[in-house]
Every structure is written in structure tokens, then in C-alpha cells.
């Protein structure tokens, strides 16, 4: 069910699901009832009885939604909360999960969906900014599984456009064609924002345990998660 799972601070855990947990998305043509059952099973596994995961309607932008309680899925590509469990869905884009805390020790949680447009338009720095606006300090981030720079072939003009905004994304594939390294771009943005980060994933296009739109379209979505417990 999990590609990676860890208690990153006392009472705060981060995880990334895999294909064993099943498709988590309602927008890819799957049976909605089956998706909701999978989400409910995941919530039970995380111990979230009565406090379901907050999902969002992701649109490849840089909007950050602040979640203060139970709410419909916002149209956004990042969310920040001071307690509600959060989920981000991907199948090649970069899932980023962040944890900080206020001066009083209260947790600040966040997730971001960093695809090519989101990386170029700064969804991750905007998420960090929103966390700090909520009082977060000592922010740490986990960069989940996504398509790697050796696999993500793009037209040369697209590489030039994105790399002009985020130079660390400039890459070449194994066969020497133009590519983008989105995880490296996210890492550079986190470092520039003074956020400690870890890589928690492999390449979605190479790993059969992960959904990949580039490899298997149409396909499902796995999730990056952050939640409180104990």
C-alpha cells in the first residue's frame, strides 16, 4: 500500500502510496464508488477515523488553499493546514509534502502538486510562503516519486522555457535528447527558500509499483500524504 512511510516528527507522519493502495483519483474514469472505498480504507490505515483526508482539484497552477476544517475539495495545486490531514495526487508530476511548526509547537502541514507548469510558476515557493504566513518555522519537505530527468523527454523549446524560470530543471535523457528534471527543480526551489528536503521516491516511469501517465495513460494516481496522530 505504501511506497514510503515515516513518522517525521513526534505525532506527524508522511507517506506516499503505491499501486497497492489503488487509484486515489476521481477524474481518471474510474468507478467513483470504488475510489471512495479506497480512500476510506487508506484513512482507516492511517487512523483517521472521523477526520478524512483533504483532497483538492488540481489544475497545474500555483494556487495555494488554506484549509481550516472540513471543506469541499478546493481548486488548487497546494494546500496548507494547521491540523487537517492532506493529500496530493500524482502520476509523474512531483508530489511535495511539507511539515513545519509555529513558535508554540503547533504543526503546520502542506502538500503541493508540482508538475511542469507548477514548477515553472512557483507553486512550491508559494506553498512555503503560505506556511510561513501561518506561523511555520523549521520547515522540512519530502519530494516524492515522479518522472526523473533521464526519462522526461520534452521538446527543446519547452526545456528552454522552463529552465529559463528554474535553471535546475535543464536535463538530457539517457539518449541525449532534451529533458526536464522536475525533482531537481523542486529541490532548488526548496533550497532557495531555506527549507530542508529529502527525496523519498524513485522514477514513476521506471517503477511498476507507481502509476505513470507517460507510461500507461490512461492510468490512476497515487497520493502524497501528511497527517497528525497520537
Strands, E assignment, 71-228: 78-81, 86-90, 94-101, 107-114, 137-143, 170-172, 178-180, 196-199, 222-228
In this prediction, residue 38 has a pLDDT band, given cuts at 50, 70 and 90, of very high
For residue 97, list its beta bridge partners.
Answer: 111, 142
- Give the helix/strand (H/E) hosting 7: strand 2-9
- pLDDT grade, residue 70 (50/70/90)? confident
pLDDT of 51 reads 83
Q: What is the rounded CA–CA span in Å between residue 60 and residue 27?
A: 14
Instruction: Sketch the domain layout of the chain as residue ranges.
Output: 2-228
Environment class of residue 117 by beta-carbon count within 10 Å: exposed (0-12), middle (13-18) or buried (19+)? middle
Q: What is the distance between the alpha carbons of residues 73 and 56, in angstroms, rounded to a whole number?
A: 4
What are the grid coordinates assigned to 210, written together? 507507481
pLDDT at residue 49 greater than cutoff 80 = no
Q: Is the pLDDT of residue 13 over 80?
A: yes
Segment 102-108 mean pLDDT: 93
According to the model, what pLDDT value does residue 120 have?
Answer: 98
Q: For 112-166, write each residue's pLDDT tens digit.
A: 999 999 999 999 999 999 999 999 999 999 999 999 999 999 999 999 999 999 9
pLDDT cut 90: percent of the chain above it: 95
CATH class of 2-228: alpha beta
Dist. CA 63–CA 53, nearest whole Å: 19
d(CA 152, CA 129): 28
* pLDDT(176) > 80: yes
Amino acid at each position: 500500500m505504501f511506497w514510503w512511510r515515516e513518522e517525521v516528527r513526534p505525532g506527524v507522519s508522511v507517506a506516499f502510496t503505491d499501486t497497492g493502495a489503488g487509484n486515489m483519483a476521481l477524474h481518471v474514469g474510474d468507478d467513483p464508488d470504488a475510489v471512495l472505498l479506497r480512500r476510506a480504507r487508506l484513512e482507516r490505515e492511517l487512523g483517521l477515523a472521523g477526520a478524512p483526508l483533504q483532497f483538492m482539484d488540481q489544475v497545474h497552477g500555483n494556487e495555494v488553499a488554506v484549509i481550516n476544517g472540513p471543506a469541499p475539495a478546493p481548486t488548487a495545486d497546494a494546500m496548507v493546514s494547521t491540523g487537517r490531514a492532506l493529500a496530493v495526487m500524482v502520476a509523474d508530476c512531483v508530489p511535495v509534502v511539507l511539515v513545519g511548526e509555529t513558535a508554540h509547537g503547533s504543526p503546520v502541514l502542506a502538500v503541493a502538486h508540482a508538475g511542469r507548469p507548477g514548477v515553472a510558476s512557483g507553486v512550491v515557493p508559494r506553498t512555503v510562503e503560505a506556511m510561513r504566513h501561518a506561523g511555520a518555522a523549521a520547515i522540512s519537505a519530502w519530494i516524492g516519486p515522479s518522472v526523473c530527468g533521464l526519462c522526461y523527454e520534452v521538446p527543446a523549446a519547452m526545456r528552454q522555457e522552463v529552465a529559463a524560470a528554474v535553471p535546475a530543471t535543464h536535463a538530457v535523457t539517457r539518449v541525449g535528447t532534451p529533458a526536464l528534471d522536475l525533482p531537481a527543480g523542486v529541490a532548488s526551489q526548496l533550497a532557495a527558500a531555506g527549507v530542508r528536503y529529502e527525496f523519498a521516491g524513485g522514477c514513476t516511469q521506471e517503477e511498476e509499483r507507481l502509476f505513470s501517465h507517460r507510461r500507461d495513460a490512461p492510468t490512476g494516481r497515487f497520493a502524497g500524504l501528511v497527517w497528525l496522530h497520537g
